[in-house]
Amino acid sequence: MLMLEKLWNVIQNEIKKSNNIKMLDSIKIKYLGKNGVFNNYIKDLKNFSLEEKKKYILIINTIKKKTIYQINIRKNELYKYILKTRIQNEKIDISLPGRKIEYGSIHPIRYSINYIKDFFYKLGFQSISGFEIEDEYHNFDALNIPKNHPSRNDQDTFWLGENRLLRTQTSSMQIHIMKKNKPPMRFIFPGKVYRNDYDATHTPMFHQVEGLIVEKNINFTHLKWIIYNFIHDFFSNKISIRFRPSYFPFTVPSAEVDIMTNNKTWLEVLGCGMVHPLVLKNVNINSNIYSACAFGLGVERITMLRYGISDIRSFFENDLRFIKQFKYNI
């Protein structure tokens, strides 16, 4: 019995001196484990009398309960200490100045595309982006572009094989849409196009927005009205416009639209015209019942004119100093 009382004193001291959870778990295994001290004491009682067994088992169980209780108390103390230490190490000094948050900016090309979409939504147009990898039929043949046209050459077009290419114009989406939908229809097709060209006013990849209307009794007057209103809206009514006769294989009659720049010279900004009857025939639309008009504009060009940007390559250099110049009312 004296040995058990001394044992309890030893256990208490060990528990008090334990300064981490791992050490405390070792104490628990040492005294309460399957091969621990208490189980060994119980095994030794086999040679004792019945009365002695009852007496010593009662003492052993009492010390075991006290040991478990003290271990749990010490474990809670250690957890509190660990938490307190962690809080102290991770606390925030609210007297320090806050970190400056860098706000992003919408790229001027993205803003222009969104602006164009919003304008044409009001006129009942739907917007579809479409495919950037096209086949020869949709990009050239169905648009009435002859086999010997210069735009089919490797010098102008990025070919991916005999029949696949990176689209050179969003006009190819006209064919996809007119094949899948029945008139009347109004669509715009914003997206990336690719041409083998690179200088201060041209890049191998740039953005176009194509517009298409297929309805009964649509004529060139309607097309002019839409373009006049769009350009005056985009440039805030501070621009002179002229229509100049032109030629495109997929429209007849065709025109290019010029605006007067700040240095009093005319600059072409978009092409337009009435969709050629052969193009309508290719998509099984009866040109005796329906007429169609289309237009296409380069987003980079009109954005450069709107903001006075001289080099188109500035859009693609990822210079934050350039992008942060543009603030929009969104």
Coil vs helix vs strand at 241: strand
Q: Rounded mean pLDDT of 191-218?
A: 87
Instruction: State the Cα torsion 146-277-272-109 to the nearest 10°.
Output: -70
Backbone angles phi, psi at 328, to 5 degrees: -120, 155
The Cα–Cα gap between 287 and 242 comes to 28
Q: For residues 190 and 233, give the distance between their C-alpha atoms in angstroms, rounded to a whole number.
A: 18
pLDDT of residue 2: 45
Q: Are 292 and 214 a contacting pair, CB within 8 Å?
A: yes
Which tokens hold the place of 109? Answer: 């090309």
DSSP 204: S
List the beta bridge partners of residue 86.
Answer: none
- Tell me the domain boundaries of the chain: 2-90, 108-323
pLDDT computed for residue 149 by the predictor: 75
Q: How confident is the model at residue 299 (pLDDT cuts 50, 70, 90)?
A: very high
- Contact criterion met (CB below 8 Å) for 217 and 235: no
271 — pLDDT class (breaks 50, 70, 90): very high
Element (H, E) at 302: helix 299-307
- Residue identified by tokens 């990176």 is 166
* Both tokens assigned to 303: 């954005």
pLDDT tens digits for range 22-78: 888 888 888 888 787 877 777 777 777 777 777 777 877 888 888 888 888 888 888
pTM (2 d.p.): 0.66
Mean pLDDT of the chain: 86
Q: What pLDDT, on the 0 to 100 scale, is given for residue 46?
A: 73
Q: Looking at 144-158, 228-242, 271-285, which range is the least confident one? A: 144-158
Q: Which residue has the tokens 């096209």?
A: 134
Whose structure tokens read 């669509």? 187
Distance CA 307, CA 81 (A): 62
As a residue count, the chain comes to 330
Task: Flag whether pLDDT at 177 surpasses 90.
Answer: yes
* Model confidence at 330: pLDDT above 90: no
Task: Return the half-sphere exposure (C-beta side, CA atoms, 13 A cut-off) of residue 318.
Answer: 0
- Tell me the pLDDT band of 199, cut-offs 50, 70 and 90: low
Q: Could you read off the pLDDT of 86-131 as tens digits, one per residue?
A: 888 887 777 777 777 777 778 899 999 999 999 999 999 999 988 8
Output the pLDDT for position 232: 92
Secondary structure (3-state) at 95: coil
Please give the pLDDT value at position 187: 96
Peptide bond into 249 cis (omega under 30): no
Amino acid identity at 257: V
Q: What percent of the chain has pLDDT over 70?
A: 95
Q: Which two structure tokens, joined as six digits, stand for 68?
A: 């478990």
Please list, in sequence order, all residues whose beta carbon lies within 8 angstroms of the beta carbon of residue 86, skipping any fewer than 6 positions away: none
The DSSP element (H or E) to which 271 belongs, if any, is strand 266-275
Query: What is the distance between the alpha carbons of residues 63 and 48, in angstroms, rounded to a whole number?
Result: 19
Q: Is the pLDDT of residue 172 over 70?
A: yes
- Which amino acid is it at 5? E
Left if phi > 0, otherwise alpha if psi is -120 to 50, otherwise beta: which for 284? Answer: left
The CATH number, out of the four listed (3.40.50.970, 3.40.50.300, 3.40.50.280, 3.30.930.10), of the domain defined by the range 108-323: 3.30.930.10
- Rounded Cα distance between 139 and 271, Å, is 17
Question: Percentage of residues in the chain with pLDDT exceeding 90?
Answer: 40
pLDDT of residue 5: 66
Distance CA 272, CA 323 (A): 31
Cis ω before 190 (30° cut-off from 0)? no
pLDDT of residue 75: 86
Whole-number Å distance between alpha carbons of 180 and 173 = 11
Closest CA to 41 of 7, 66, 71: 7
